[in-house]
Structures are given as C-alpha cells and as structure tokens.
Amino acid sequence: MRQDDGVTDPDAVPPDPASMRKHYRAEGLSETDLAATPLEQFARWFGQAATEGGLFEPNAMIVSTADAEGRPSSRTVLLKHFDERGFVFYTNYDSRKGRELTVNPYVSLLFPWHPMARQVIVTGVARRTGRDETAAYFRTRPHGSQLGAWASGQSSVLADRADLDAAYAELAARYPEGEQVPVPPHWGGFRVAPRAVEFWQGRENRLHDRLRYAARPEGGWRVERLSP
C-alpha cells in the first residue's frame, strides 16, 4: 500500500502468513470457572464479548453444513436467539445451507471472538423453527430487510446486480414503508440443539485451554479438557 494515494501497489510483496504471531494471555479457563450448563457459560462469555470485547458483531458465527455426500460449506450468519433449547438463526430455506440442512441436519457453529482470544464451537442438530416463531421474528426486522427476504433467491445464480435491484424496487412499490410485508414461505429459522459445546481460550506458548461440554445419553453434561 503506497502512503501517498492509498492505491494498492500490484508489485508489493504480500505479508508472510507464517510470520504473523500474536501472544495470548497468561490467565486461562479452568473447570472451576465453568457454569453448570453450556448455555449458561455461553451467556456469560457472550455478554463479555458484547460489552468488553470490542467486536463489531459479537453475534456473528460461522455456520458449517454438509450435503448428503458429506461435502462441506461454510458461511457467516448472525445469531438471533439462544436459550437452553439451542441457538437460532434465520435464512432462506432454499439457500445452500437450507438445502443441506434439510438432507443432513448435523451442523457446526463457530463464534470467532479473536480480540478476546476466544472461540466457542457448537456441534449439534438443526431443526426448523415453527412458523409462529418465524413470523414473530420477521416482524421485528427492518422494512428493507423484510423486502430483501423476498427479493433474493439466496445462493441461486444471478445474471446481473440490476436484476436484484429491480426485484427489490418492485417489492418496495408493492409494499411501501408502513405496510405489512407477508412472511416468505421459503424463509425461516433453524434452531441448533447442541450436543457438544467447546470453550476455547488462547494461552501463552499455544498451550490453549479447551473445555468441552458433551451431552450425556441419560441427560445432563460432562466436561472434558482437550489438548490444545
């Protein structure tokens, strides 16, 4: 990057990823620090990420799915609700992740809270939320986002940006601000019921703390420490 005009120099040598290192904190995470359930522990860390972490979107998470043949895909979405039943996000059911979750409901969620040297990794099973729950959330979305849920055929091939803009403009004319937008039948929520939740705390010398709650067959959770 040249300092005079901010234009990227095409001949500049890119930085070497192998030389990039951050030194993590000395204090870590012990078993005695943990809450009784993973959702309670997540609520604790999420609150800290939202208020102390300096994160742009602490509710951003990487959702990884796989198709019927086991071929994976990942993308970032926003967590919209969590409680003891699981973690909820919303999407177009005809999108790639929606189609993959229909045939293979096993999913991984990753919360990458890098400024705090923390990660939370959730593995579990995704199920669609009920239509009443979906509609209640849809009504809280900004008007433009409601129209966007109709305008975008998420994950489908788009010939031109102008086609997307035209579809949105047509919907905006049909449903002006203040008029109720119907909930798209192809749009709704997924709730991920966790089977394991790992809390990762970066430590010095790459000797990180990794504590995982694993669901017991008879109910409840056991805590396991994983090697870093």
2 part of the active site: no
Q: d(Cα 106, Cα 97) in Å, to the nearest integer?
A: 11
- At residue 166, the 3 state secondary structure works out as helix
Residue of 118, 206, 216, 222 marked catalytic: 206
- E strands, 60-216, where? 60-66, 72-78, 81-83, 86-92, 106-113, 118-128, 187-201, 209-215
Q: What are phi and psi of 90, to 5 degrees?
A: -120, 150
Picking from 120, 102, 103, the residue whose alpha carbon sits closest to that of residue 190 is 102
Picking from 184, 187, 197, 198, the residue whose alpha carbon sits closest to that of residue 227 is 198
- Write the DSSP symbol of residue 79: -
* Catalytically annotated residues: 206
